[in-house]
A and B are shown apart, each in its own frame.
Chain A
């Protein structure tokens, strides 16, 4: 029995026409050099109520309106642990990564799904290595990263099923923005950790593969493998490594070059964080 009290939509769904262009148009192709990372905008101290905060925006590709990734991070604490928590000689770090419901093409719910929890665990590993946790005994810190706009807001990202690779970029962004926010909060760290992503992409004919920094999955025919690192540049150490994908069989040393390229990408990001942070203290002085 149909519902007569409401205006109902048509009984059967229809689809808007989708035109198959055959191949990617030139504007979608990667225009940057293989070893160039996208420009970033990073600002600290954006949330006055938090002890530390940062905002990161990745420049959208040319010819697109507002499709760059946008992230904010707030750091709350150090504050006292709840009474039920056991004694800890260290700072207890908890990380939350959440996509805003409208961040991606497909709406995200308010509850954190498994990929968001997974990202939180990665972020926690990345940050915990950088913190000097024994300077803050008995205290807890919450790091909350919200992805306001994801990378794959466009239709074709969903269509071409590249979201799984975009997660790497999201993690890289999360690490960078959280690192800036922690520095802003004045929590002791051994180094400023920064995230970097590199990917092994196949050319159009699928024959030869090359490594690119800061990959945008949409811009490439196919991604074979990708690697995201959290890197401490002054100590030359990696706090978090995430690699997945399949490497072409003969080159057994490919994982090394992929990881080292990802490290290179995070060095690039680190330059940016340090410039932004120095600017932040420079401006409060005057």
Chain B
């Protein structure tokens, strides 16, 4: 990704890598390994949308999400719009078993776009981000069911994410948190019609239900959040800055959703009932692979003296040796993949009870939803 290029020299990269590999790691901005950067958030900022949110990071990067809903006729991919009725009458299934019908809900009803200034909107990186966030939302199969109106109609939800300025770091956590808040504040008009007739809605916006219900037994799931976690040496760092990402050995985007288990008894302690569930994971190509390598002073013939073809073979051999055995303090872009143990420890750190994810979700709960 072009915007991920850093202007750090190999020596700076090597220094950063070794300081981040320490236990505990020393991060350039003084954060602890599991600390997030401070951010401000507000919801309901755009009156023309069904739901919106704005999140602003301390470094000035800012994302705005607007959710728009439209009614659409359910068209079966196989042909006519009456297909579902047709199947129904053919199979002889009577009565409106809504749960059964909702199985027809499709993930395509959610459309998500990400716009990042300085990147083409068909850029592979942008598409990757949008797919990543979309997949996390749809992973549990419950989200699409929320968009089901009746057998003939459904909501089509457009989720548009706009980054106000070119990102200073990989914008994934920012976009994910903004999306989370926007969906929490999303309301769809209350349905007045019944059954499969053309949908009619209540004009009263105050009466419209939230997409993710706030109260009652249905207050179960909330939108997922996606965290970006990097591994540098043995350290695992959350919410990496651009410079940290530039030396990361591996980067993993982990999406989790919170499931509030209802025990059925009167003890409705929200925090104790929170359960984190992994919904999706993707490795992100760490930009460290594209950083320029350092040249150790032993193999540097620009510094050691004049260009001498006769001693060149020897120098080349020397260089090769150097290439194979990494030296302390000489930066070399990581080769190969990530060990399973490292991936596993990242996932454990994310899912840990009372860990970072809990902290983030607590923070998001503190946001005033209007």
| A positions within 8 Å CB-CB of B | 13-15, 17-20, 88-90, 106, 114-115, 117-118, 120-122, 124-125, 128-130, 132-134, 155, 158-159, 161, 164, 190-191, 230-232, 235-247, 249, 252, 255-256, 259-260, 263
Contacts and interface: CB of A to CB of B under 8 A. Distances in A.
B336 interface: yes
Interface of B: 77-80, 82-83, 86-87, 90-91, 106-107, 122, 124-125, 127-128, 130-131, 135-136, 139-141, 252, 259, 261, 275, 277-285, 289-290, 292-293, 323, 333, 335-340, 343-344, 347, 351
Contacts of B281: 241-244, 255
A231 B340 CA distance: 10
Contacts of B91: 20
Nearest to B112: A114
A249 B278 CA distance: 10
B77 A106 contact: yes
Given A13-B80, A120-B124, A246 B279 contact: yes
A237 B283 contact: no
Contacts of A128: 285, 289
Contact of B335 (A132, A236, A256): A132
A115 B339 contact: no
A117 B130 CA distance: 11
A106 B90 CA distance: 24
Contacts of A191: 336
A95 to B, nearest CB: 9
A15 B79 contact: yes
A243 B280 contact: yes
A20 B87 contact: yes
Nearest to A112: B122
Contact of B340 (A17, A120, A240, A263): A263
Given A115-B131, A191-B336, A240 B79 contact: no
Contacts of B280: 243-245
A245 B279 contact: yes
User: Quick one: which of B91, B275, B280, B340 has the most chain A CB within 10 A?
Assistant: B340
A232 B77 CA distance: 39
A125 B80 CA distance: 41
Contacts of A243: 278, 280-282
Contacts of A88: 290
24 contacts: A13-B80, A14-B80, A15-B78, A88-B290, A89-B293, A90-B333, A106-B77, A114-B131, A117-B122, A118-B128, A122-B282, A129-B337, A130-B337, A133-B289, A164-B107, A232-B337, A238-B339, A240-B337, A244-B281, A246-B139, A252-B351, A255-B347, A259-B340, A260-B340
Nearest to A155: B78
Contact of B127 (A20, A114, A124, A260): A114
A269 B127 CA distance: 29
A133 B252 CA distance: 22
A244 B135 contact: yes
